[in-house]
Amino acid sequence: MSTSAQNAAHGTEGQTGNVTQNRMHIHRKAIEDAKAVAKTAVGVLSMVAEATENVPYLGAVSKALTAFKGVLDEIIICKEDCKATINDAHEFKELLQKSEARWDLLESSGDGELRKEFDDLGRSILECLETLQALKVDSKRQRDRFKLLFKRDEVQASVGKCRERIRVAKEKFNTAVALDTNFMVHGLHKQHTSKKATQVLAPTVESTWHLRGEPLIFYGRESEVEHAVKLIVHQAPARVAILGTGGIGKTSIALTILHRPEVKALYGDRRCFVSCEAATTVDGVVRALIEALDSSKITSGLSPESTQRSLFHYLKSVTGIICLDNLETPWDADTVAVEEFLAEFAHLPFIALLITSRVTDTPLIAWSEPPLEPIMPFTLEAALQTWDAICSNHDEYALSLLKAVDCVPLAVTLLSRLARTETAMSIWARWEKERTGLIRTHGAEHRLNNLDISIDLSLRALGCQDAIDVLGVICIFHAIGLDDHEISKLDDALTNRLSLVRAITSLKQLSLIYTETGCDDVKHIHVLSPIRHYIQKHHVSDELFLTIADLVMQSYGFWPCRAIVEFGWNRQGRCRARCFELAISDPHLSLDVEMVFQAIERARELDPGPHIQSRLHRQLGWLLSVRGKHEDARSSFRMAIEHDEHLGDTRALFTDWTEWISICQVEFRDREDECQRLDEVQSAIHKAWDLGCNEDGVWNQGFRGYDKLAMAQHFVNEGRRKLHMPVIHRSNLFSDNDSTVWIDDIEAAYEQLVSTSPPPWNLSMTLQTIEASQGPLVC
């Protein structure tokens, strides 16, 4: 029966070559030939159910797909549906051809479900061809071709049914190929005892491969696990990479995948987990892998090359899945050799490959599609579930802690372990002082119980100080993230110091930074909180900070100065001074009451000197005055006065007093008699007149300073008149006793008077000067 079936299948081969080459019409012979091939396939498949020996049917189905494609390519209607079906048929035929070496094994397995799907596919192809023939798609008559246009729905339905059967058969075939002949997921019949079948079957593995237990606490990774499992089951042998920064949970995801029922059903005990953490060469990976496989059929103790050949010889004869965890360690140290090793690994016909790595620039092999996206932190819900599973419950401090570390899984785990012995409130207080230095547990220093060590491993993998400096720059601007325009501007400004673009590529490859689309639909570069705090504490030099601060001061308004200032408050020396200077000088920051308040608080703690504190209080006084908070504004200027008196800075004191006076004027404009400080204002005016002169007694505040004090004197005088009090000091702005007639050209009089003596001058002296230059004043 096997021989006749083979002859029947091969006898139709020549017929498939007769498909028409006329792209305008379909000849009857094309459909007849295709039908013959399809009938042969159906006939062969019908024989399989009752066969007592192997019946090769995959070749017949492959030929039927080829013939079917040829017919569809000629149909003049429903072109999009036909084209899509042609593509699917082509992909399936290519898949069949690639697996031709395993046809005997699959056909002899007795998988009834696989045979049934192919049987349904063959019948659907045949039915579709008969439908097309009945619709006279092969007719050359214009009338028939016109009528065909009205049969579009029937053609579309028939072709669509075939496409669906192709999809189902392809999926079933993928699963069958993935299954080892000893462990068929849908329950294989008893293995045949024929000589041929015995030769093809993979030898039974004499030992169980090493596999760590699955994580007992595992939340929030359902989508990543499902994605990987589908790739493993439906794209055998799959090549799957789990990528992401240190402490993000890659190993836990990999172990959970390996323990999933679908993967266990597929590979049984041949699921292997190998840590590459201690391996710095390919030879180290090979040794670790041989130890994990624990097979007597692998010859070790030879040269590294011979050992590797023995390993691959063994793996070619078995079916299984192998996970190489922390592959970045040997990949960084021995890149070329690891690339060659994985390229060889990728050619193993029955071994699925799973890797975890911090490096997103994976070796160039055919990874299963679509790949997993780099692993991101927990959702807050998953972080809370993890916290509660470790230390029973959470409160608002626990919530704050989880948010503070951006829900990075390793940080969540270590913090929740700390919460077993400390309260979350106590841990939060420590976090605000210690940051990432807090996130560790007892035991030997290791990346899994010390977050700083985990981060440092990634930094060492960079192998470039410039890249670490660029990461420091990004961490300084963490509040907003950096977009492409800002990166370009920074790159131009720092061109002689750093290469931002090249470094950013390296940082992305090691998952130390990530991009996120903001509300402005622009992508910004960000750094996870634990990495950011570690970098800010250990890897931002004073030189780098001052370079960025200088850049910001040269481009006020473009860069977020607040980020620079808040980052640099606690630094020493020039860095601290530069922060205070930015807080005072930047137009945006200097108008930010909260920032100025913050700067004053910092100044009290850090004591940057009376000069800085004076400027800060003066700036705060101006801001409060504009906001109508007059009493608070006067208090701020009083503080500035104290610092300036300590410094002996007469020019600053003149400014302080005139501003203090101006606040009173603004507050009681047109209500001078309500001001309870008229005498205090008068005293301040006298002080200001004195402060406006230099050591030689020469007035050095110009006409503007003179005019401000003269107007202040008028303010006091108006208040005294309203209170029926005598006017003692004249403002010299009016020519009459009641201050109703303004003196014309007072500035010209000022210029003449100031050349002879400093103000204030009495009214008669002012009037005489004006009369001498302009003639008698008319009142």
State the pLDDT confidence band at 442, using cuts at 50, 70 and 90. confident
**Do the domain assignments include residue 208?**
no
For residues 638 and 706, membership in a common domain is answered with yes
Residue 92 to residue 406: CA distance in whole angstroms: 45
User: Which residues neighbour 564 within 8 Å (Cβ) at sequence distance 6 or greater?
Assistant: 476, 548, 549, 552, 579, 582
Q: What is the CATH number of the domain that holds 258?
A: 3.40.50.300
Residue 106 to residue 299: CA distance in whole angstroms: 31
For residues 146 and 115, membership in a common domain is answered with yes
Q: Which region among 49-58, 568-577, 621-630 has the lowest average model confidence (pLDDT)? A: 49-58
Q: Report pLDDT digits (tens) over 515-570.
A: 988 777 888 999 999 999 999 999 999 999 999 998 888 876 677 788 888 888 87
For residues 301 and 428, membership in a common domain is answered with no
| The most confident of 196-205, 636-645, 762-771, by mean pLDDT | 636-645
Residue 735 to residue 744: CA distance in whole angstroms: 9
Torsion of CA 513, 514, 520, 521, to 10 degrees: 150
| The most confident of 93-107, 313-327, 496-510, by mean pLDDT | 313-327
In one-letter notation, the amino acid at residue 529 is S
Question: Any idea what DSSP says for residue 423?
Answer: -
pLDDT attached to residue 286: 93
For residues 157 and 193, membership in a common domain is answered with yes
For residues 122 and 48, membership in a common domain is answered with yes
Residue of higher predicted confidence among 691 and 29: 691
Q: What is the mean pLDDT of the chain?
A: 81
Average pLDDT of the segment spanning 153-164: 77
Residue 80 to residue 160: CA distance in whole angstroms: 11
pLDDT attached to residue 430: 94
Neighbours of 690 (CB within 10 A): 13
Residue of higher predicted confidence among 79 and 578: 578
Q: Which region among 54-58, 339-343, 368-372, 666-670 has the lowest average model confidence (pLDDT)? A: 54-58
For residues 12 and 155, membership in a common domain is answered with yes
**Do the domain assignments include residue 577?**
no
For residues 401 and 349, membership in a common domain is answered with no
For residues 28 and 148, membership in a common domain is answered with yes
Q: Which region among 332-346, 348-362, 462-476, 727-741 has the lowest average model confidence (pLDDT)? A: 727-741
Hunting for tokens 């976090």 — which residue is that?
A: 431
**Do the domain assignments include residue 106?**
yes
Q: Which region among 163-172, 276-285, 666-675 has the lowest average model confidence (pLDDT)? A: 163-172
Q: Which region among 51-60, 152-161, 593-602 has the lowest average model confidence (pLDDT)? A: 51-60
| The most confident of 19-33, 593-607, 619-633, by mean pLDDT | 619-633
State the pLDDT confidence band at 375, using cuts at 50, 70 and 90. very high
pLDDT at 141 over 60: no
Q: Report pLDDT digits (tens) over 394-423.
A: 999 999 999 999 999 999 999 999 999 999
Hunting for tokens 């023995």 — which residue is that?
A: 310
For residues 400 and 263, membership in a common domain is answered with no
**Do the domain assignments include residue 455?**
no
pLDDT at 601 over 90: no
In the chain, the number of structural domains is: 4
Beta bridge partners of 272: 322
How does strand 320-325 pair with strand 271-275? Answer: parallel
Q: Report pLDDT digits (tens) over 224-259.
A: 999 999 999 999 899 999 999 999 999 999 999 999
Q: Report pLDDT digits (tens) over 64-101.
A: 777 776 777 666 567 777 777 778 778 777 777 766 65
Residue of higher predicted confidence among 201 and 248: 248
pTM: 0.64
**Do the domain assignments include residue 18?**
yes
Residue 478 to residue 302: CA distance in whole angstroms: 53
For residues 283 and 386, membership in a common domain is answered with no
Rg (CA), the chain: 42
**Do the domain assignments include residue 308?**
yes
pLDDT at 746 over 90: no
Q: Which region among 1-5, 110-114, 164-168, 573-577 has the lowest average model confidence (pLDDT)? A: 1-5
pLDDT at 698 over 90: yes
Residue 456 dihedral angles phi and psi, to the nearest 5°: -65, -30
Question: Structural domain of residue 392, as residue ranges?
Answer: 380-442
**Do the domain assignments include residue 573?**
no
For residues 420 and 296, membership in a common domain is answered with no
Q: Which region among 117-131, 159-173, 319-333 has the lowest average model confidence (pLDDT)? A: 117-131
Residues 44 and 57 sit within 8 Å (Cβ to Cβ): yes
Percent of the chain with pLDDT over 90: 44
**Do the domain assignments include residue 233?**
yes
pLDDT attached to residue 200: 34
User: Which residues neighbour 230 within 8 Å (Cβ) at sequence distance 6 or greater?
Assistant: none
Residue 616 to residue 652: CA distance in whole angstroms: 12
State the pLDDT confidence band at 762, using cuts at 50, 70 and 90. confident
pLDDT attached to residue 477: 86
Residues 132 and 124 sit within 8 Å (Cβ to Cβ): no
Question: Any idea what DSSP says for residue 724?
Answer: T
For residues 264 and 385, membership in a common domain is answered with no
Is residue 25 left, alpha or beta, with left meaning phi > 0 and alpha meaning psi from -120 to 50?
beta
State the pLDDT confidence band at 146, using cuts at 50, 70 and 90. low
Hunting for tokens 């205070």 — which residue is that?
A: 580
